[in-house]
Amino acid sequence: MTARPFYPALVICTILLSAHAGVDLPSPLALQAGDLKLDGGLVPVAQLVNDQDDADVAYSTASSQYLVVFEDPGNNGDILGQFVDAKSGELIGGWFYIAVSAGQEYYPAVVYDDYQDRFLVVWQRNYCLSNWCYFIIEGRLVYGSYQGTNNWAGNVFEIANGHQPTNAGIDMVYPSAAYNADEHQYVVVYQKGYFSTGNFQSIYGQMIRSDASSPEVLTGVSAGFEVASNGSDIQVKYPDVAWSREGGSFLVVWQQFWPNKTDKIIGRYLYDTFQGTGKTQVHGTGGYVIAPVFAMGNVPNVDEYNDPAVTFDANNNNFVIAFTHTEITGLIYSNRIYAARLKDAFENSAQNVGNPFPVEATLNVNYTGHYAPDVVYSGLDGETFIVYVSNYFDQGNDFAQVNARVLRGADVSERFMVHTAPLGLAIKEPGAAGTNNGTALVVWDEEYFTDPYDWDIHGQRIKSYSKVYLPSVMKE
C-alpha cells in the first residue's frame, strides 16, 4: 500500500465541514494531487569493464521483477540482461547474455507478455553474407523471472532481414516493440533504409504471434509491412509504439525530417492483429502530424521536434506522446519537453485530444535545457511518468540530471529530481517501466565517476504519492 502524508488538523477541518448542512465536498478523487518520491537508493544495474549503452526496461506482473536490457559494445557488440527486484530494488543474480554472435548487436528494446510470462527482447545485428553486410532485426524470448544459469525461453530468431546475395540489400535498424495482451501478438517497428548514408525513407513493422511456445513472424521475415514511406528528400527515424486495449490498435510514432525544413513528430494507427498476407496493417492513407500543430515557444528562426516516445494511459483511454521541442536561434539551441494526447483508436478526423502542452519548458539561470524524454503509464489514477535529462547549472558548475514529472490529462506535477550525476559527467538515454501500482524503475546511461570514458547503466525506483488538501471553493 502506498503511504500517504497525514495532516491531523486537515482531517478535523474536513469533518467539521462535512457536518455543515448543505455543504458539497468534492469527491475523494478530486482531492488528490499526484507527486513523486524516491523508492530506495540507486540501483547499479551494470558496471562492467566495458561501456554499457542503450538501456531499456520492462516489468513482469507475474514475478514483480524488471528485466533491464542493454548493449555491451566492448565484446564486438552484444546484448545483455539483468533482473531487478521491483520491491527491494536489489539485483537478482548477475547479468547474462541475450545475444552474442560474430556480428555486432545494438539498440535493444524489451516488452513483456503477461500471458506467457516472458519478455521479448529485440535488437539490430550486423549480418554478413557473400561479402555484403547489412543490419537485420533479431529477437529472443526471456523468461519473466530470473531462472539462474539459463534465462532464455527460446533461441535467437530473425524478425526482419532485407539482405540480398548482391549489393541490393537494405538495413533494418532501431527496433521498438509493443504487445497486444488480448490476442497475444507483438508488433516490432523499425527504420528501413541505408545505414551507411543515413538514408532512411521508411518505417516498417512485423507482426509476431506469441501464444505458442515459439514465436511466429506472421508478416514474413523478408517482407514486413510498410508504416510510412517517403520521397528521397524526406527521412524518418526513431520509431516507438504502444498498444491500446480499449481501442484495439497500436500507435506508431516517429520523427520526420528533411534538410532546411522543420522536423515533425508523426503518428499512425495499426490494426493490433494480423490482417492476413497481402492485406494492410495500417489505418488510413497516411500519418497524422502530432507536432507541430500550433506555435510552441517564442516563434524562433527554426523549430525542431525530436525524440518521440509513446505509452497508453489506460485510465483516460488516450495515447500519450512525449517529445523534445528545440528552438534554434543562430547558434543557440533551446530544448524543452512537450506532450500530446491522441485518441485510443483510428478515426478519419483529427486525432489530437487537445493541443500539445509543455511538460518541462523552464529555461533559466539554473536549467538550461531538457531533452530525451521517455513516458510510461504508472498503473494508477490515469498517471503517466515522463522522465528526461536536464542540464543543471549551479554555483558556476554544470551538472546532468534525470528528472521526472507526473502527468494527469494536461496537468503536470512539479519537477522531481531522480538523480544528479557527479560534476562534469554526462547522462544520456533515460528509460522507464511502470508497474500496476504506481511505481516505476527509471534507468539511464551515465559516465562512471572513476573513469570519464566508461559508461555504466544505473537505475532508480520512483513511486507516486498524494497530498490531501482542502477545496478552495465550497457551495452551501
Whether the Cβ atoms of residue 201 and residue 191 lie closer than 8 Å to each other: no
**pLDDT for position 426:** 92
The domains located in the chain, with CATH, are: 8-468 (2.120.10.10)
The C-alpha R_g of the chain, in whole angstroms, comes to 23
> For strand 157-160 and strand 132-143, is the pairing parallel, antiparallel, or unpaired?
antiparallel
What does the pLDDT read at residue 343? Answer: 94
Mapped onto helix, strand or coil, the DSSP state of residue 16 is helix
The residue written with cell numbers 565484446 in the block is 75
C-alpha cell, 279? 492485406
| CA dist., res. 311 & res. 152, Å (int) | 27
Which one, of 273, 221, 286, lies nearest residue 247 by Cα? 273
pLDDT at 17: 33
Q: Give the residue among 333, 327, 399, 339 at the shortest CA–CA distance from 366.
A: 399
Beta-bridge partners for 464: 36
For residue 289, give the C-alpha cell: 502530424
Cα distances (angstroms) measured from residue 364 to each of 200, 332, 368, 403: 36, 14, 6, 16
pLDDT of residue 312: 96
What pLDDT sits at residue 279?
A: 92
- What is the DSSP secondary structure assignment for residue 282, as one 8-state letter? B
CA 344 – CA 217 distance, rounded (Å): 25
Q: Per-residue pLDDT tens, the chain, 476 aa: give them.
A: 333 333 333 333 333 333 333 333 333 333 344 589 999 999 999 988 888 999 999 999 999 999 999 999 876 889 999 999 999 999 999 999 999 988 899 999 999 999 999 999 999 999 888 778 899 999 999 999 999 989 999 999 999 998 876 666 889 999 999 999 999 999 999 999 887 777 888 999 999 999 888 899 999 898 899 999 876 678 899 999 999 999 999 999 999 987 667 889 999 999 999 999 889 999 998 889 999 887 665 554 578 899 999 999 998 999 999 999 998 777 778 999 999 999 999 988 767 888 889 999 999 999 999 999 999 999 887 899 999 999 999 988 999 999 999 998 888 999 999 999 988 889 999 999 999 889 999 999 998 765 556 899 999 999 987 644 445 454 44
Closest of 46, 32, 55, 38 to residue 403, by C-alpha: 38
- The answer to whether 459 and 43 have CB atoms below 8 angstroms apart is yes
Whole-number pLDDT of residue 50? 83
Predicted pLDDT of residue 296: 64
The pLDDT, as a whole number, for residue 468 is: 45
Grid cell digits, residue 449 = 565517476
Q: Which amino acid is at 149?
A: T
How would DSSP label each residue in 135-159? EEEEEEEEESS--SS--BSS--EEE
Residue type, 41: G
8 A C-beta contact, residue 160 and residue 190: yes
Residue type, 118: R
* Phi, psi of 114, deg, nearest 5: -75, -15
Quick one: pLDDT at residue 353?
82
Other Cβ atoms closer than 10 A to 3: 9
